[in-house]
Amino acid sequence: MSNEETSHKILKERYVPTAEFYSQIIDSLQDYSIFTVDTELNINSWNSGATKIFQYETDEMVGRPFETIFTEEDRKANIPKDEIDKALKSGRSVDIRWHLCKDGTTFYADGLVFPLKNDKDEVIGYVKILRDITIRKRTEDAIKKYTKELEELNTHKEGILAILSHDLRSPLAGIIAGAEYLKKNFDTVKPEVAKELLEELHKASVNELNMLDYLVEWARIKYAADAFTPTKIELTHYVQRVFAMLKETASVKTINLHHEIEENTTVFADEKMLLSIIQNIVSNAIKHSNDGGHVRVTAKESDDKIIIEIKDTGIGMSKEIQDKLFAPQVSSLSKAREDNKGAGIGLLLVKGFLERNGGEIWVESEEGQGSSFYFTLPINKPTEKKDPVLPQV
């Protein structure tokens, strides 16, 4: 053997990395949790990166089951075993999910599991490598939320512009034309004709103002978020307030207003929005009820929400109208405004307010048999996110 070959052999034997050397490298990876699991799915090694991320010291984790780091929800769904099975079948298992720390907090992690084999190709355990990507997820979620908000704002903007150009501009043109006719023919027009025209102008102006008020309130849903102050409130109090406000309107058509809501029935909602929701629906019920009819308000609890029903004995509506009732289409709004004096935009306002308060609305109706409007509101403050709360940085 030559001197060169001898030197190479000596160097190779001297500098071959040992198991301790590799262990030191793994332990130095502070941003990565790296640990091994035996064939019984118990943890049997734990690097310093795992301690940093999960808060468990090595002696606390060695011997513990693999599922310790998983959330209760994932344990019930058998996710730990599924990861191992996939790693055995495919050679690796990649997952992105929430994991559980020692103090009960959670973090979002990008993880990988693969089997460990001996020189006989027998599985002797598994390696789990993961890193904390909570900040990245929070950033991605924030971008998604911002994008969704922009899309919703754009939809509202287009709806508002459409209403301004169709439902407000056209009636104003009619009011102006009527006023010009009176101005030019003031000395010759008959008094009864002038009176009739003035009544029409007054009626159109009031409707126009009501429409504008609806529009301002509708825009407030998105553009005045700071005005949204939900709290726990008693439902009967607001139903009675609406009945008092609409008592004279109902009496003109001898319509009976009554409710069958139990005392201390509460909902979690914004007070002004709740008042507007009930007032709009009850007002529409009165408009569409026949003389001598009645409007009834009831409420029942279902899981964690209250379902409110406002039922009238009015003219009802076709399936076609029901399908378009809560759709922000200019044509349907214009028709609703022409027939129902602003009911179309009023129901859009109701729908927007309910969605803002975590509720929903639907209708059941039959022509000639009256209508029932149903809407839901949470009993308690809703949970904003299903995922665990992300830590602030």
CATH number at residue 193: 1.10.287.130
Are 95 and 111 contacting, i.e. CB atoms less than 8 angstroms apart? yes
Dump pLDDT digits (tens) for 261-288: 998 999 999 988 898 899 889 988 998 8
392 to each of 107, 133, 149, how far by Cα in Å? 12, 13, 21
In a shared domain, residues 36 and 96: yes
Please report whether residue 391 resides in a domain: no
Express each pLDDT in 164-222 by its tens digit. 665 566 677 778 888 888 888 888 888 888 888 888 888 878 777 776 776 676 666 55
Boundaries of domain holding 26: 3-132
Q: Give the model's pLDDT for residue 186.
A: 85
In-domain check, residue 388: no
pLDDT at 82: 93
| Together in a domain, 217 and 238 | no
Q: What is the model's pLDDT at position 308?
A: 96
Q: What pLDDT shows up at residue 388?
A: 39
**Residues in the chain where the model's pLDDT stays below 50:** 16-19, 21-22, 329-343, 385-393
Domain boundary among 174, 201, 226: 226
The total number of structural domains that make up the chain: 3
Looking at the fold, whether 256 and 310 belong to one and the same domain comes out as yes
Last residue of a domain, one of 205, 226, 247: 226
* pLDDT at residue 321, as a whole number: 83
Is the same domain home to 319 and 183? no
Whether residue 244 is found in the same domain as residue 261: yes
The pTM of this model reads 0.51
| Whether 241 and 369 share a structural domain | yes
* Residue 209 domain-assigned (yes or no): yes
What is the residue-wise DSSP string for 159-193?
Answer: HHHHHIIIIIHHHHHHHHHHHHHHHHTTTTS-HHH
Q: Which residues of 5-40 are buried (b: 16+ CB within 10 A; e: fewer)?
A: eeeeeeeeeeeeeeeeeeeeebbebeebbbbbbeee
DSSP state for residue 360 in the 8-state scheme: -
Domain membership of residue 267 (yes or no) is yes
